[in-house]
Structures are given as C-alpha cells and as structure tokens.
A and B are shown apart, each in its own frame.
Chain A
Amino acid sequence: MKPVEDKKVTREVKVVTRVLAVNERMAEQNRRRFAEKGVFVINVMSSPGSGKTTTLQKTLERIMPEIRSAVIVGDVSTTHDADRLAVTGAPVVQVNTDAFGGDCHLAAHVIEKAADAIDLGAIDLLIIENVGNLVCPAEFDIGEDARVVVLSVTEGEDKPVKYPAMFRLCDAALLNKIDLLPYLDYDKAQAVGYIHQVHPGMPVFEISARSGEGMEAWVGWLRERVSSKLKAPS
C-alpha cells in the first residue's frame, strides 16, 4: 500500500501567552511577600568587573545598622562575593546559578527560595546582587522595587547604547571607579550622554567605591527610596 501523504490540513490553536509568564507570576508573588513584610528590594546589575560587590560593601557600611539590610548574591559559581559582603555584618545568601543550570541571570523562583533563608521581618532593605551580565537579567523580573545598573570608567563609554534594554529598565546608574579617571582616556561626559540618550532623565551617580567619592549622593537616593516604601501603605 502506498503511504498516504498527510493532507495538509492544520489547525491553529491560539495561545497568546508571555513565554516568561511563569517567571512573571512568581515575581509578583515575591513582590507581594516583600511588601507585606515592608521590605524594599533593589536589583543591582552590571557587567562583570564593574565593582558591584565593592560598591555594595561600601554602601552597606554607610547605611547599616540604621537601615537593616540583607543581601542575596547571584554568581555562576564561587562564594567570593558573599564572603566579602558578609564582613559588613549583613546576612548574606549566596546563590550559585550553576545549581540551576549555569544561568546567566537570577530568576524569580531562585529569589523565592533564597528569601526563605532571610528573616524578612527583621530587615528594611534586601539587596539582590545579580549575575554580572548586561543582557539577560534585564529580561527577568524578580519582584524588586528598583533596579540599579553599575558601570565603571574602565569599560567602554558606549556600554549604554550597546545594552539599551538594561539601561532603559533601570531606575538609576552608578558610574564607578571615577578615582581612575586621571589615568584613562575615558570620556565621562560622553558616557553620561549615552546613558541619557537611552534613558533620558535617569539619575547617574558618579562614584568611587574605593575612595568613597560620590557615595553620599547615591546612598541618599537609596535611603529616600527605602523610607518612601516604609511609609507607603502596603
């Protein structure tokens, strides 16, 4: 018998679903949980080597114990960042994404699990240090209240226009390592111009986590955001 060719009849079934719907639902669940506990959550993103961990370490030194803080640190592997942050006395939860498939970003379900290890009732601020990557973390809502991107003057001035999705998404940018400017041919005005080309009006804090220069303005912004959530009815 001759094999019968399939008649080319196809049925189209409408789906119309966000591919990341599962993550987005989980992120909303995280957001509600954090709001109930009155915890302000900040998602800190950057490329590798921008000085994100040092910046957070120096930030924690300035805001604690007045703002009770905890940190979730995402890395593909190692606990080096968590070890450095634990020195500040803040509870630190390390998430190695290789346990979740070597992910390039933190997803909402990872945060949900990591948050179980933190006494949310005892903190005002949860800092989430995302995996060093300017592409993927921008796609994954994790239930945060604010997003901050750290870039440094040892990277190209054009990072913002190379990674526009990340810079569009964030609420503030930290331009780190400005103590190195005398030794570099870095065009700071151009870098800030690129940030504002992608995200007009976004606050840019020029800092040196190492020397402490500019840190007060950034910490002031963070303090204000944390207290505005604490005051707001959840």
Chain B
Amino acid sequence: MHEMGIALQIIDIAVASIPPDLRSARIERVNLKIGKLAAVVPDSLRFCFDIVSKDTPLAGAELAIEETPVLARCKDCDARWTIAEPAFTCPGCQSGALEILSGRELDIVSIEIAQGESHETGGG
C-alpha cells in the first residue's frame, strides 16, 4: 500500500549512488532484493516506480526484483527450512523459537549504468 513511498526512496538512494563521472548517464536497471515477508507487491512497486521516476536519471530504468524466500532456523534443534505457509513452528521438533534468516529484505543491491557512447538526450 505504501509502494509509492518505497519507489521514491529507491530513486533517492539510486541517484545518490551514481558515481560523479557518470552523472549524465542513463540508469538501465535497479537490482532489488525483496523478501516474501516484506509488505511490498512487486507489480505495484514497478507501476509506482515508472510514474515517479519520470524526469529523474532513472526514467525508463527496469526494476529487477529478486524475491527472497522466508528462511528460518530453529533455535532449539538448529534445523533450517523454507517457510512457504504462514506457519512458524519447527517441522522437526515443533519448537516455536525461530530465527528468521531471510525474507524481510527490502534492499537495493546495485544499479546498472549505461556506459555506451554519450548520447543526446531527448530522442534523436
């Protein structure tokens, strides 16, 4: 529901990450890692990103989203497994003492910047 705000944050972080020598370059892709437990819907995020990235160096950039599964570790028996259903009990020993190893990510991993010939902006 707050994908618009997330999209704006992504743009802020990505723009700040452009190296000084590539200030006028076009960003082709933003690589994101989003956990299944993060309250973010990838399609909504792409939709919002396309709107708010207009008139920024990220206009037209693709959001490449890697969705990470929910991985858990049992604090009692050290079992590790992927949680696919909303059930957070160890399948081995039934303990409820879990550590969530991944699945809550909402990270920008990298940006990919076009380094071809410097090209005119504004379609030629």
Contacts and interface: CB of A to CB of B under 8 A. Distances in A.
A135 B86 contact: no
A4 interface: yes
Contact of B88 (A22, A135, A200): A200
A67 to B, nearest CB: 31
SS of A interface (majority): mixed
Contacts, number: 120
A121 interface: no
A18 B10 CA distance: 9
A165 to B, nearest CB: 5
Contacts of A4: 117, 119
Interface in A179-222: 196-201
A139 B114 contact: no
**Which of under 10, 10 to 19, 20 to 34, or 35 or more describes the interface residues of A?**
35 or more
B109 A14 contact: yes
A12 B110 contact: yes
- Tell which of A5, A19, A20, A160 has the most Cβ of chain B within 10 Å: A19
Contact of A3 (B12, B95, B112, B124): B124
Interface of B: 1-2, 4-6, 9-10, 12-14, 17-19, 22, 28-29, 31-32, 37-40, 86-89, 95-98, 100, 104, 106-117, 119, 124
